Structure 1
């Protein structure tokens, strides 16, 4: 939020974060790819709590870079929209907007496909992970449905 001069209660877009990273990141290209990867994950698991305070940055040698990821949650309710937009989209069409966002992040088509494929594959492992760690089957089923829906949308958009 500080990176783009944002304020609580206002709406923002991942594009604004990408534009600021170009000026402020220690390694803009690497940080832009991380931003794309995080946006892809938020879409894949329907993490609608993706506000800017959950995109932490660390200052290192006078420049900014992403902190380790934190506060990422699956939202089982597909009617909820994302807090942070991708090209203005916060709802069901956010997967389509992610394709355009890859260009802003200078990821390239094939790299974007690879990142999304990896993210989708990892996201689909959440049910097995939850089961292994003692989550109730009803909760697993509820969360897995949202993940499968969003992952299928990403696969369609990215031709996976």
Structure 2
């Protein structure tokens, strides 16, 4: 009688296959990238609007050369003011929702520059205690002004 080193395992009828390591890593990477892309755009806050006069500003006094020619600028609220370090910062901003239906312009992202602090603006904002107050032009670029929404919810990223 010959001895055999073969081990026989009873058949269960199920085939177990696992993905090769590279395929598992690629799948994991795609899931992570999808998560980061869809849920982590930036910070979430609120924005109001204000109208002229825009001068003088806490950041630049009466110097109009610091205002973007596009008129896409904003005033910093307390949450991002950072003791004046917000002056000159630029943010990408988009409207994500509002208390009034259809207030947001779909798929519109703008770049704004912080030129003032909320406690120093010469004209009153449309709403109080917001993350930032956008110039009329900036607000109109991402929100439908005909809805008369005093404030909008925004995503923003420096």
More strand by share: 2
TM-score, length of structure 2 as denominator length: 0.25
Larger Cα Rg: Structure 1 or Structure 2? 2
More helix by share: 1
Higher relative contact order (CA closer than 8 Å, sequence separation 6+): 2
- Normalised by the length of structure 1, the TM-score is 0.25
